[in-house]
Amino acid sequence: MTERVETQGISGEHYNFAYLDEQTKRMIRRTILKGIAVPGYQVPFAAREMPMPYGWGTGGVQVTAAVIGKNDCLKMIDQGSDDTTNAVALRNFFVETTGVDTTTKTKDASIIQTRHRIPEETLTKDQVLVYQVPIPEPLRFLEPRETETRKMHALEEYGLMHVKLYEDIAKFGHIATAYAYPVMVQDRYVMDPSPTPKFDNPKMDQMEALQLFGAGREKRIYAIPPHTKVVSLDFEDHPFEVTKFEQPCAICGAEEVYLDEVILDDDGNRMFVCSDSDFCEERRDAGHVGHLGTNPLEAEGND
Amino acid sequence: MSTQTASSIFAKAPAPGLADPVHDAQSVFRSAMNALAQPGTVQQLDDLKLNPPAPLSIAATALVLTLCDYDTPLWLDPALAASETVKNYIRFHTAAPFVESPAEAAFALVSDAKLLPAVASFSAGTAEYPDRSTTIILMVDELTEDDGITLKGPGIKTEQQFNVAPTPAMFWQQMQDNSALYPLGIDVIFAGANQVAGLPRSIKITGLEA
């Protein structure tokens, strides 16, 4: 999975390029431009039914389809990994409908569509990061009525969100929200960063790449332009803290990265490995090895 | 009708639109997207084989063909609105309805800086729907990334120098007032000969004295 996958375009014969019709793309493109002009504001759009169920990333797919061109190189990740079901299915969808090059290497990609992670490698200004968003409204579980949440955004009335975080502290002694941790964008809109772990929140701040968010079922698109201020909500006496791991990645030994827990047997043994599969592979290729891994360079030498 | 020949009908037909509607529109959109995501940077368009009727420029025409359709009420400046050729061209390729009032427009196409009405006369959106605002496509002769005003805000690391020529009277002051309305306000996409640049409402403008 490390080299670029050669792809064959059959778009001309079967589908319009990138599946969507041109009018739909124009509508989505106009929505994206509004989203960029008002960072963090959820712009309504006429999301189409896609040939995959809601919850599979129909919003992200529509955003990617409106942005992608024939010279793009696409990377598709699901919880940081290039080879889990959602990533493979959606990558194949774009290979079939556009014929673009795909890659698993973060640095080679011009568009990265992600389900719930931001790659560990720093993104650059020529890249676009597209998030799949299930519930775009950060206030939805506090106030179910769209008419009311819309007013709350209009009036910048975000007290309820702070009450929710305060209740976390009252109950658990700390802010227990670990994913979909609300952020304030450019001092104006409170935004749901999609269910990324809060570990990734600091990466959104001043990121060089353009970040686009698509929610298909909820019919919303929002955006964070490059170099935009993104602050995780917190309190002076309970400042925002990222998740810390007690041990490094078991395979590549990386520290200060987001780790997945893998159960090894019925006796409760487990290991922690990088959630970003490309980052882990790169490190192993460079000779790094964790306490449960083997050094691929030495293994080759022994042959 | 019997006196019309095929050649007389073709003579009156609008000029062709984008040669490759799918991929040309995609590349023009990417330039416009980068222009608004990196305000004040000049984005070069691909070499589009467009031959729009005067006074439309290639860049402005490409933006209209890429972004407008039957869903987007379009306001034309008086010079464009006076030209049946221009209106036929836009109507044929986009089906965008023309509106008389700037406040009703989703897009405004302005061919000459002198013909730009007060920026405040366009729609700035509402507090609950700031996206229901006008985007102005403004044709200019020159777009440069130096020696002009200073831009700050989302999309810009520290600050960005930017200049356009010609500039409508009191334009930058009006755009300062526009950004004070944030998150309401209009967005501007400047169309040079074959380049575009963006100035969204989120940007603070300084350096007018220079």
pLDDT in tens, A220-238: 999 999 999 999 999 999 9
Pair A46, A190 in one domain: yes
pLDDT in tens, A207-222: 999 999 999 999 999 9
In a domain, B181, yes or no: yes
Query: Which pair of structure tokens corresponds to residue B14?
Result: 């609008």
pLDDT in tens, B158-174: 999 999 999 888 999 99
B182 vs A: CB within 8 A: yes
In a domain, B183, yes or no: yes
Pair A127, A274 in one domain: no
Q: Is the pLDDT of residue A2 over 60?
A: no
Q: Do B154 and A186 touch (CB under 8 A)?
A: yes
Whether the CB-CB separation of A30 and A22 falls below 8 Å is answered with no
Query: Which pair of structure tokens corresponds to residue B51?
Result: 């031959």
- What span, in angstroms and rounded, lies between the C-alpha atoms of A30 and A55? 24
Pair A98, A190 in one domain: yes
**Tens place of pLDDT per residue across chain B (210 aa):** 556 777 777 777 899 999 999 999 999 999 999 999 999 999 999 999 899 999 999 999 999 999 999 999 999 999 999 999 999 999 999 999 999 999 999 999 999 989 999 999 999 999 999 999 999 999 999 999 988 899 999 999 999 999 999 988 899 999 999 999 999 999 999 999 999 999 999 999 998 865
CATH number at residue B60: 3.40.50.11310
In a domain, A237, yes or no: no
Pair A264, A135 in one domain: no
A6 Cβ neighbours under 8 A, 6+ residues apart: none
- Residue B189 phi/psi, 5-degree rounding, is -115, 115
Q: Do A30 and B32 touch (CB under 8 A)?
A: no
Give kind and range of the element (H or E) at residue A261: strand A259-263
Nearest-neighbour CA in chain A from B130: distance (Å) = 8
Confidence at residue A1, expressed as pLDDT on a 0 to 100 scale: 41
In a domain, A150, yes or no: no
CB contacts of A43 in chain B (<8 Å) are 131
Whether the CB-CB separation of A283 and A252 falls below 8 Å is answered with yes
Pair A193, A278 in one domain: no
Is residue A280 part of the annotated active site? The answer reads: yes
In a domain, B185, yes or no: yes
Query: Which pair of structure tokens corresponds to residue B38?
Result: 């990196």
Helix, strand, coil share of chain B (percent; to 5): 30, 20, 45
Q: Is the pLDDT of residue A4 over 60?
A: no
Pair A186, A274 in one domain: no
Is residue A73 part of the annotated active site? The answer reads: no
Pair A215, A275 in one domain: no
Maximal C-alpha separation, chain B: 67
Range of the domain at A183: 11-139+179-232
Q: Which residue does chain A place closest to B127, by CA atoms?
A: A154
In a domain, B135, yes or no: yes
- What span, in angstroms and rounded, lies between the C-alpha atoms of B150 and B198? 14
Please tell me which of the candidates A38, A125, A224 has its beta carbon nearest to residue B183.
Answer: A38
Please tell me which of the candidates A35, A69, A155 has its beta carbon nearest to residue B27.
Answer: A69
Nearest-neighbour CA in chain B from A174: distance (Å) = 32
Query: Which pair of structure tokens corresponds to residue B136?
Result: 């102005």
B157 vs A: CB within 8 A: yes
Interface test with B, best of A17, A27, A36, A206 (most B CBs within 10 A): A36
Q: Is the pLDDT of residue A94 over 50?
A: yes
Q: Exposed, middle or buried by CB within 10 Å (0-12, 13-18, 19+), for A245?
A: middle
Name the residue among B2, B80, B11, B14 with its Cα closest to residue B51. Answer: B14
- What span, in angstroms and rounded, lies between the C-alpha atoms of B103 and A51? 38
Confidence at residue B209, expressed as pLDDT on a 0 to 100 scale: 66
- What span, in angstroms and rounded, lies between the C-alpha atoms of B210 and B207? 6
In a domain, A93, yes or no: yes
Calculate the dihedral angle through the C-alpha atoms of B125, B127, B129, B132, rounding to the nearest 10 degrees: 0
CB contacts of A210 in chain B (<8 Å) are 33-34, 37
Tally the domains of chain A.
Answer: 2
Q: Which residue does chain A place closest to B125, by CA atoms?
A: A34
Q: Which residue does chain A place closest to B131, by CA atoms?
A: A34
Whether the CB-CB separation of B152 and A223 falls below 8 Å is answered with no
- Residue B139 phi/psi, 5-degree rounding, is -80, 130
- What span, in angstroms and rounded, lies between the C-alpha atoms of A25 and A169? 44
In a domain, B7, yes or no: no
B7 Cβ neighbours under 8 A, 6+ residues apart: none
Confidence at residue B90, expressed as pLDDT on a 0 to 100 scale: 97
Whether the CB-CB separation of B116 and B186 falls below 8 Å is answered with no
CA angle A55, A56, A57 (to 5 degrees): 95
3-class DSSP assignment, residue A102:
strand
CB contacts of A153 in chain B (<8 Å) are 128
CB contacts of A69 in chain B (<8 Å) are 23, 26-27, 30
Give one DSSP letter per residue of B101-114, joined into a string: SGGG-SEEEESSGG
Pair A35, A77 in one domain: yes
Please tell me which of the candidates A17, A39, A227 has its beta carbon nearest to residue B22.
Answer: A17
Confidence at residue A143, expressed as pLDDT on a 0 to 100 scale: 96
Q: Which residue does chain B place closest to A110, by CA atoms?
A: B30
Task: Note which residues in 49-88 of chain B have CB less than 8 A from chain A.
Answer: 66-69, 71-72
The residue annotated as part of the active site, out of A80, A280, A290, A293, is: A280
Edge-to-edge strand ranges of the sheet holding A111-115: A43-44, A220-224, A210-215, A128-132, A111-115, A73-78, A101-102
The length of chain A, given as a count of residues: 303
The residue annotated as part of the active site, out of A252, A253, A290, A293, is: A252
Burial string for A254-265 (b: 16+ CB within 10 Å, else e) reads: beebbbeeeeee
Please tell me which of the candidates A31, A150, A227 has its beta carbon nearest to residue B155.
Answer: A227
Q: Is the pLDDT of residue A13 over 80?
A: no
A49 Cβ neighbours under 8 A, 6+ residues apart: A58
- What span, in angstroms and rounded, lies between the C-alpha atoms of A33 and B149? 23
In a domain, B37, yes or no: yes
* % of chain A surpassing 70 pLDDT: 92
Q: If you search the block for the tokens 């509607």, which residue do you land on?
A: B21
Confidence at residue A278, expressed as pLDDT on a 0 to 100 scale: 95
In a domain, B74, yes or no: yes
Whether the CB-CB separation of B178 and B186 falls below 8 Å is answered with yes
For every residue of A163-192, which 3-state class applies, written as one string? HHHHHHHHHHCCCCCCECCCEEECCCEEEC
In a domain, A164, yes or no: no
In a domain, B2, yes or no: no
A231 strand-pairing partners: A184
B172 vs A: CB within 8 A: no
| Beta strands, E only, A67-127 | 73-78, 101-102, 111-115
Q: Do B29 and A27 touch (CB under 8 A)?
A: no
Name the residue among A289, A90, A98, A118 with its Cα closest to residue A211. Answer: A118
Tally the domains of chain B.
Answer: 1
The ipTM (two decimal places) reads 0.95
Burial string for A161-186 (b: 16+ CB within 10 Å, else e) reads: beebbeeeeeeeeebeeeebbbbbbb
Pair A132, A225 in one domain: yes
Pair A218, A263 in one domain: no
Calculate the dihedral angle through the C-alpha atoms of A101, A53, A16, A14, rounding to the nearest 10 degrees: 90
Range of the domain at B96: 18-206
Q: Is the pLDDT of residue A10 over 60?
A: no
Record the pTM. 0.93
Q: Is the pLDDT of residue A248 over 50?
A: yes
In a domain, A88, yes or no: yes
Pair A42, A101 in one domain: yes
Pair A183, A289 in one domain: no
Name the residue among A122, A120, A167, A116 with its Cα closest to residue A141. Answer: A167
For chain A, give the mean pLDDT: 92
